[in-house]
Structure 1
């Protein structure tokens, strides 16, 4: 799509083709246009003049003319000597569009509060811009299991830039991430500028800069993201992060003992999710492990608790008090309880 549009529409945002001019004008005047109306003019999406409506992906909303003009001028000023004439052209082109939107103030306001980033290049550019503007703090939630080396490498340049400016970073991971050597190497490199904690399971990916702008995924494969600048939305996400942070365990601290001989912390987490009625695939996804690993843990749970089938396993999980998620506070010694038909094993 990108290559096709470039061949048929070889122009910049400062001099739209006739078809692009009509669709963009209609979008500014009405506040949005159906996605199908923009299919003949892919240049509008390629130039980020239109982007998906967060409330309905079948519609496209215009980037405000003022924002487009600011973006153009930023690039123009980088090449002042060679771009003087283009600067005047950009201003002249978008003064008229700005007039079209004067009766629709909500378009500009929403474009700033919630912006849909379509494609990895736009997501990356927005993250880089937020990184450059960040002055004090970054909060992140990183779901899944062991972080791949390429993900850690991609984010390293931003992290080093932030550390150089004295920005503090706090990262939340699942307990499984503790086993990734790449993450341990990354944290050692970053020193005390990064503090990491882990939980059995976390929310989907979240990045918050200076408690003013947040990024969250907009689809399952993370090819789209939402950039949020509405104060109420950002405050809500920060509150969620802080509550998870208080429940999490520092990466430098060991996971608490389950109090049950032969049952690991991860198996206790799996037991709690089994008790809630979740399938193996759901449990694996929530804990950041593979389905195969999840089933291996379930087999060990059955053996340890002396369960012959899944129904009996559910009963034994409840009898052993494993039907609730493990907590960091669950380290106080408790009176010993003998598991049914398992005289040699005890619950403390």
Structure 2
């Protein structure tokens, strides 16, 4: 995982109180509270509350010290008042949310089983009700949205795909397949690397999938690679890198910065040669137990992308290459010469799953062995 300030908080959130304390000292309490507030803003979907407006103070306690951080919500978005250069004393909050800082770290970035709200207190500074016959403050729905990020929700990938403008549901229908393979990973601190940010050469377009993954994997660092310079998706737990998916020097520089990925998703050029080159370079860097996903495999049959509908097993096409990985799973059973990919990846490919235009390859140790030579089944 990336060892930046957010990565330190995520790693510590699954550890002991001492681990969290060490991380808070390394990051700095003020910086930590800002990162926690920023993550809660991202998870709140404030655009659904376009008319809500309030100043929310996060009062986070750490021993005898309290760190106050102000967030101004207006017109469906939020900004950190400290970032805007506004004095905390000059703006009276409408509501204060109090937390012990270590507990908030766990609530935002910790595993689901460790999340609690024992020290959380909400103080309303305005008495303006939602309606004439209500005793609920008008800011209650907004605060509920901000705090829902501390409670793990059953996020539906299809809904998230539509919300963030990803084509993983709608143009394609990949989200049920992703949920099948990714559900067990959601609660882990991990690094996801996606090739292809989207939006072609427009620096302000694309990034929907990265935002989707940031929401779905609440403890993950999300990294995107695109051949065009992108600014749309940067920030929070998202990192973007500009370069070619087939450039080994560039890919090594990315891996040096983000560390071994737990998940790689190839949604980039879809050209067969590029898909194969990226897999050859990145699969060895994948952590054991990790998943490598290749999207849009329909291009394996299209000549424009280097594919073929006649030579279905050609190792120069995406599907032809990936089919050899099915033999790689059983590499220990082969008695004769095998394709290079079988020898290269066989000891490390545990499973290969094919779906409509999608493949998922699992990495692990594939050295189970075969039946001994004396076994009757091997006779003849």
TM-score by length of 1: 0.24
Where relative contact order (Cα < 8 A, 6+ residues apart) is larger, the structure is 1
Find the structure with the greater CA-based Rg.
Answer: 1
